[in-house]
Structure 1
Amino acid sequence: MMLTPLFPQVSPEDILFVFALEAEAGQVFGHLNTVFTGIGKVNAAITLTRAITRHRPRLIVNLGSAGSKRHGKGTVVCCNRFVQRDMDVTPLGFARYETPFSDMPVVLEHGTAISGLPLEACGTGDNFEVSHGDAPYDVVDMEAYVLALIARSENIPFVCLKYISDDAGSEAASDWAVQVHLAAEAFKRVLFQPR
């Protein structure tokens, strides 16, 4: 299986595919450089940092499941803006989502757009969000922000594709459990088949 010409400047062995869970990769990505971080920002940070040291990739591709009220289940979206949605130090006078005493913007911009896919902002947090109201993001996950932050700090190009597994609402947990296993085939259609 060959990658489509999405990344013509990078050979497949120089691409690191990053998933939270093996269920999101299925049997599709076994022949490529993959890493499974586990769930949450801390696990993602530790695992990606180690993987970068080991592999020195020229491109990091994060593939995973996410919730969205805007996009229906089964949609693949591309994210190139990221918000740390559980950062809230407003009692000390900081803006919501702002990391205190940091030069990081509230909305971190790092990532390549993939033609033909909806382009979105992803809110990352260490909780399973079921309501995000008027937040500055339309997609929610638990790892992408820190992956984008590390890729940016290491000056490595970054692609983030999310398979929408639930509507980030009251049925999100049960929807996710069913939909997460369909993610790999959706990513296969985007990455490996002519477009």
Structure 2
Amino acid sequence: MTDSMALMMALPNESKGLFEAEGINVHYSGIGKINAAFKAFEVIQKTGCKTILNLGTAGSSIFDAHALVEVTQFVQRDMDVSPLGFPIGTTPIDTDYPAEIILDPHFSDLPKGICGTGDSFETGTPKVPCHLVDMEGYAIAKVCKKLGVRLISVKYITDGANDTAHLDWEENLLLGAQKLLSLYKSI
């Protein structure tokens, strides 16, 4: 990894201390879009990075558990102002940035997906079409887009975004951290 790249994850649970044990600096945002946006802005301002690498976990009813998936598009699964005539997933009067934030792919060997971000732990079908769900990615992507910083995002699928998602997420964190660390070392 180059000096112009900063690594962001939501929680220390997602790295299980493996990154720190290797001397890798991880910027943890905390859970949710507000925390992620604030941390992304802070990291860019403090480090001057040209790229943020966002590694983390996600649920999916499309991709198999334990898969690594590169996100090539982020959408907001919890933005719903449809009673006022706006499409679900669209922030009203935000004409500078579309509802879908497109990322340039980085990894040729990983499956690609659309990630729906929302401030809830998804256990059903999101209102906005997407392949996987998280709680931070869209916010990071929007900050990066506004500040002209590249975002690369890879998610480890811990669960099926269903009624056992919370149990599966906990159970699969260590294997996810191991796979994400291996991917990180390959950059």
**TM > 0.5 fold call:** yes
* Cα pair distance change 1:28/1:14, threshold 3 Å: farther
How many Å separate the matches in 2 of 1:81 and 1:37?
Answer: 20
How many Å separate the matches in 2 of 1:131 and 1:137?
Answer: 12
Unaligned runs of 5+ in 1: 4-10
Matched, 1:183 2:176: yes
CA contact (8 A) 2:88 2:128 kept: no
Amino acid across the alignment from 2:106: A
Amino acid across the alignment from 1:158: L
Correspondent of 2:79 among 67, 80, 87: 87
How many Å separate the matches in 2 of 1:57 and 1:120?
Answer: 25
Q: CA RMSD in A?
A: 1.6
User: What is the SS of the residue equivalent to 2:174?
Assistant: helix
Amino acid across the alignment from 1:123: G
How many Å separate the matches in 2 of 1:186 and 1:173?
Answer: 20
Tell me the equivalent position of 2:17: 27
CA contact (8 A) 1:112 1:157 kept: no
Unaligned runs of 5+ in 2: none
Q: How big is the shift at 1:95?
A: 0.6
How many Å separate the matches in 2 of 1:110 and 1:136?
Answer: 17
Alignment of 1:41-190 (within 5 A): 41-103=33-95, 104-132=97-125, 135-190=128-183
* Cα pair distance change 1:133/1:58, threshold 3 Å: closer
Q: More displaced, 117-126 or 28-37?
A: 28-37
CA contact (8 A) 1:113 1:119 kept: no
User: What is the SS of the residue equivalent to 1:29?
Assistant: helix
User: What is the SS of the residue equivalent to 1:94?
Assistant: coil
Q: More displaced, 28-37 or 38-47?
A: 28-37
Runs of 4+ in 1 over 4 A off after TM superposition: none
How many Å separate the matches in 2 of 1:73 and 1:136?
Answer: 19
Q: How big is the shift at 1:189?
A: 2.4
User: How many residues are aligned here?
Assistant: 184
User: What is the SS of the residue equivalent to 1:183?
Assistant: helix
User: What is the SS of the residue equivalent to 2:75?
Assistant: strand
**Which digits, 9 at most, give the CA deviation of each residue in 1:29-78, with x for residues without a partner?**
22233200000001111112111111111210000000000111110000
* Cα pair distance change 1:193/1:45, threshold 3 Å: closer
* Cα pair distance change 1:135/1:84, threshold 3 Å: closer
Q: How big is the shift at 1:193?
A: 4.3
Q: TM-score, normalised by structure 2?
A: 0.92
How many Å separate the matches in 2 of 1:87 and 1:61?
Answer: 25
Q: More displaced, 129-138 or 115-124?
A: 129-138
